[in-house]
Structure 1
């Protein structure tokens, strides 16, 4: 569940504010430098208005419309799925870049690529709380919430072309049903070569100074009637009601900036024990696994370019996550975060204790949340290994297909999310695209890794059904299991789709079912997985009653000491604000807020990941700076800049707006010192790293030219 966070009103930079909260912050915004009248601020507070209506979620990232013809701007790393999907060993779009001269040359981002343009917001708190109150026990409570959510979403989506989602705020103290236009035809328009978009590679991830051109363009398409439609060659560009204008004022140190995006999750007020578990076990354990898995892919990729291409996104994700987790653990120690969390919780409990009977319900809620956390962690080793094993290659496919067969036996309204009729097309598309993103040879190595991790578990943490399927604990039995999986019909794309409509008995008793290596695995472990799910759901059902009580008490406590509240991130649209500002590293080194194109030349080694393309090097050498793109204070074109904006995962691709609400940059990373900001925000050290819009325009003009995109955004090529 999502919590809530409280900060001093004077700390303008911290906060993942909901848009309607902006008028409450009018004085802070004005003091920070926002140039908006009360009427304009009212428009900013409307998530469908100008400029926030231009900002949309994109598959775990954020994007924004930048033209009236459906042109979307996001990070290159957010477009990797589309880039890899359209790449071949002979035509590597990541390495060589991709650009188009006409709309006809734009390529599909994939059948499952989606954006959602917000259409309406409805408060449904009373309906949800009524359903929860009527439930008889924790499991019934979570089932009641699921049933109500499905009903609300189904009613909301009766009009074709819309997608709906129920959001919980502040741990369940309020709920919103949001309806959005679901655009299903996205096409890749432009992506610079990786030597621009990911200059510095993993070496530079979370680092400053940075010199990355991490941006790419999509275009949204709809049917000829203007309604959302699946990809078709005769679809037409979507015409958004809102799109961002490119900044026409040079951004400098100390200037106001604002950010809009879809942060996935923050845990600023998680329970102290939950924080400790992540710091001491989850993050270091998962990071170590990801490093080992990444090494396997890198080794195989050096021998096989096809595997390197297919797993590029997976590899970058694992490497980034591992570096983030390792950095967070280091940051927790440096900032003494565990003690801060413990002290905050102690202060709240002491305040509640002084309230006597009035505080007893919240004290009891706290105690129960501690117990529920301990229960959730009791089998964490087992849960991690089993979860990763059945999410790998053909085993993942078998689990999804078998679960789909189980769910199809139920009425559609009672099926689990992800297996309803509305999800079927996306699932089928995923199966058909599987061979473009995975390879049985590589998957075998990953499955081998997790099977070996499984047999290391203590006997009391093992799963009896999986032990029977594996038949033994040594290398011989693991090899036999891998051989069975390798022979699975699910590795064949034609046979894989045959199982889409198979019923449960075909998996469990059919001659081609249980004898199949991957399907046999799914049939063996599914009862255990379903039981684990029920345990999780039961705890979640109890959390639904105690978490809101605890967070309401926390809100009251913070209000009593004059602090302002905002809800934890939950994937919905949030706004942050601050300034372009430097910082000082732990070693005392003062960091400048901008980097310049000359620094790319200085760092260029000619070898990845510091291999700037010749066109860029030549443009810098000839000082082809593009006239208005030069910052006179820097005497150069700025590349990346720092700000004290508050972000979290999901903010990648978020637009950075200037004091006039125009696009000044694009978020793509944070500095190393802020890697733990989802748990604790440090205003002195937390910094967001963004691509300056002037650098994007310079690349589009001088290095990897796309004049039609500049013209479409209303910024024709500048003078030399």
Structure 2
């Protein structure tokens, strides 16, 4: 990295200058955004927002894939309905279907286990450990050697952080490997379902309305965090007590209007704002088209296998919902790329950057060497990803994934814990067991067999160059699967769990056909993994040098410098705002309960509960009536910068009070993961007034309304 534009890591945030409402900011960067926050009307001091131990940030939590927030001192958590969907589905049966009927625990004792995978993560400490991860890495290392050395250092940092077992720690990379932060989170392991409205409210409009505006979805649900009597996280137990939240958000029913400022805090998943044009074209021409084809085929297989079987429809409801959501987003990305040539936009930016970078040659930059290396390693990455895609198609079986995971655990168990691969250390054992247990509610032999067979047939039709070496010889024929499933005992939960922790010898001696297949595939899949490590190590060596240069270049233009989202705590801001998706069409920022009645057809997914329809027709709006709209608002739009993982994120007003929950984006906004266009990028939120109105008028969740601290409008 050349000294003239290498930036001291501690100063990277100092050059953060906002452009429109773009940016998914690390909390410690917010003091540099004082003028922007003041400009839109936020009154919370930026220094307070940067402090994870103070309100409101201390109330923001992660569910490990979704965001949420505490809304009472007794560990009550509010999030999206679709984020709690697994918990609803696992407790449902064809006879007692909480998905359709909704669920409300009137007492603490009636709250239901959210499932073995359910977690609440409370972030309490973030520290920059970049020097400890990166210092002294030899330039002569191979890519794999470098990757494994970084991984070794990361694991040591995690082990050092997890001496107290109440914490779960991680060391994610920022700016594509330029920085590393160690994040400590208290991990609550006993999570219970408290309340979820019927999917006639929580998923009103279904996949038809997904990513669309106008929207009328009550995408909210409540969970509760439980701990041991000593206040520390504990395994699920009837003896556990509600977690005493150090802080929680006050709920404001005062409402918002057009132009009002909002802050959004949560755990956004992944964005790719700094991808090169070649990477975007690859996504547009390979990754996304293949993804659409694959998911569409898998969903068709599931639908055919569960058709006319209510018990199986419930069992695979969560799987199908998740896959459908990914499909809609992926198709939206393709449509977005067709509407706006983001690769061409990036071409212009890339040419400007490379010209600027070349001018630094006299200041110590060797532009030709770095950029040539950059292009080469990205090309290698894209080539290998085609084989990885093919392998994913070929291995589309929950039973096979379980067998492979347990065998890998045994293989890694031969090494000292610090030398094992991430995901297979002692700290990961409870997660592996939880995955094995989760199949109890989401696996069926016939459905899994159909998915595996269909996947093998699709794999066989892919270009031979995409087939990873050694995999073809190990895979079974599709017509051999019926016998394999009939002979395997892994479909039985108790027998499956019994394999967790067995040694390699037990696996190699097994006659179970899926365990034998996992062992047989091991060499080929390990070879694929090692090739990935080589490429990742080279990416981790070259990309940070590129990112340091990009940051320096952006600094000269006064443009925002924030890291891509990586599932860590971020804050974004914006205003309640309409938008124009195309010429001559303007869409307002609010929808109301009147729109639910207008959409209601009595045919799924536009079936509203009778109690809700009656309340609307009877104008039972109470204090939740908006003075301008004259009715109860349901959803609203803001210009906040969001992505997947922001589902359930708290939307707070200028004082830090909860006024909504993020749950989606408009269809035109989907490409914001790659390019933020402030004119059309809009996030979709549940208005908290609709949530409170449903709780009061439809589901009579009086116990929860009393538990929360709610600021009602002045009369």
> What is the TM-score normalised by the length of structure 1?
0.94
Match of 1:24 in 2: 32
Aligned to 1:252, which of 250, 254, 257?
257
Query: How far has the Cα of 1:554 moved from its partner?
Result: 0.6
Aligned to 1:705, which of 700, 706, 713?
700
1:668-683 aligned within 5 A: 668-683=663-678
1:64-213 aligned within 5 A: 64-133=69-138, 136-213=141-218
Q: Do the aligned partners of residues 6 and 659 (structure 1) sit closer, same or farther apart at CA in structure 2, a change above 3 Å counting?
A: same
Query: How far has the Cα of 1:465 moved from its partner?
Result: 4.1
Q: Do the aligned partners of residues 470 and 525 (structure 1) sit closer, same or farther apart at CA in structure 2, a change above 3 Å counting?
A: closer
**Deviates most, 647-656 or 310-319:** 310-319
Query: How far has the Cα of 1:376 moved from its partner?
Result: 2.2
1:15 matched to 2:11 = no
**Deviates most, 393-402 or 494-503:** 494-503
Match of 2:4 in 1: none
Match of 2:338 in 1: 333
Q: Which runs of 5 or more structure 1 residues have no equivalent in the other structure? A: 472-476
1:490 matched to 2:486 = no
CA distance in 1, matches of 2:49, 2:440: 44
1:311-460 aligned within 5 A: 311-358=316-363, 360-460=365-465
Aligned to 2:64, which of 38, 56, 59?
59
Q: Is the 8 A contact 2:252 2:712 kept in 1?
A: no
Q: Is the 8 A contact 1:47 1:573 kept in 2?
A: no
Query: How far has the Cα of 1:13 moved from its partner?
Result: 0.9
- Secondary structure, counterpart of 1:31 in structure 2: helix
- Secondary structure, counterpart of 2:582 in structure 1: coil
CA distance in 2, matches of 1:6, 1:457: 48
Query: How far has the Cα of 1:612 moved from its partner?
Result: 0.2
Q: Is the 8 A contact 2:254 2:712 kept in 1?
A: no
Aligned to 1:599, which of 595, 607, 615?
595
CA distance in 2, matches of 1:325, 1:559: 32
> What is the TM-score normalised by the length of structure 2?
0.95
1:446-525 aligned within 5 A: 446-463=451-468, 465-470=470-475, 477-508=477-508, 510=509, 513=510, 515-525=511-521
Q: Is the 8 A contact 1:444 1:482 kept in 2?
A: yes
Match of 1:474 in 2: none
Match of 2:575 in 1: 579
CA distance in 2, matches of 1:31, 1:377: 42
- Secondary structure, counterpart of 2:29 in structure 1: helix
CA distance in 1, matches of 2:712, 2:570: 33
1:656 matched to 2:661 = no
Q: Do the aligned partners of residues 685 and 402 (structure 1) sit closer, same or farther apart at CA in structure 2, a change above 3 Å counting?
A: same
Query: How far has the Cα of 1:148 moved from its partner?
Result: 1.1
- Secondary structure, counterpart of 1:179 in structure 2: strand
CA distance in 1, matches of 2:610, 2:714: 21
Query: How far has the Cα of 1:164 moved from its partner?
Result: 0.7
Q: Is the 8 A contact 1:444 1:486 kept in 2?
A: no
Match of 2:6 in 1: none
Q: Deviations over 1:648-675 (max 9, x none)?
A: 1110000111111111100000001101
Q: Is the 8 A contact 1:117 1:180 kept in 2?
A: yes
Q: Is the 8 A contact 2:216 2:596 kept in 1?
A: yes
- Secondary structure, counterpart of 1:49 in structure 2: coil
Q: Deviations over 1:84-124 (max 9, x none)?
A: 11111111111110001110100111122111112222221
Query: How far has the Cα of 1:618 moved from its partner?
Result: 0.6
Q: Do the aligned partners of residues 69 and 498 (structure 1) sit closer, same or farther apart at CA in structure 2, a change above 3 Å counting?
A: closer
- Secondary structure, counterpart of 1:182 in structure 2: strand
Match of 2:636 in 1: 641
Match of 1:226 in 2: 231
**Deviates most, 214-223 or 317-326:** 317-326
CA RMSD for the aligned pairs? Answer: 2.1
Match of 1:529 in 2: 525
Query: How far has the Cα of 1:138 moved from its partner?
Result: 2.2
Query: How far has the Cα of 1:300 moved from its partner?
Result: 2.9
Q: Is the 8 A contact 2:16 2:560 kept in 1?
A: yes
Q: Is the 8 A contact 1:629 1:637 kept in 2?
A: yes
- Secondary structure, counterpart of 2:406 in structure 1: helix
Q: Deviations over 1:301-348 (max 9, x none)?
A: 331112211111111111111111111111112112110011111110
1:674-693 aligned within 5 A: 674-693=669-688
Query: How far has the Cα of 1:71 moved from its partner?
Result: 0.4
Q: Is the 8 A contact 2:449 2:481 kept in 1?
A: no
**Deviates most, 477-486 or 235-244:** 477-486
**Deviates most, 227-236 or 298-307:** 298-307
CA distance in 2, matches of 1:378, 1:557: 29
1:696 matched to 2:712 = no
Aligned to 2:537, which of 538, 541, 565?
541
The count of corresponding residues between Structure 1 and Structure 2 is 705
Match of 1:284 in 2: 289
Query: How far has the Cα of 1:684 moved from its partner?
Result: 0.4
Q: Do the aligned partners of residues 185 and 479 (structure 1) sit closer, same or farther apart at CA in structure 2, a change above 3 Å counting?
A: same
Q: Is the 8 A contact 2:13 2:29 kept in 1?
A: no
Q: Which runs of 5 or more structure 2 residues have no equivalent in the other structure? A: 1-8
Q: Is the 8 A contact 2:80 2:219 kept in 1?
A: yes
CA distance in 2, matches of 1:716, 1:30: 24
Q: Is the 8 A contact 1:6 1:558 kept in 2?
A: no
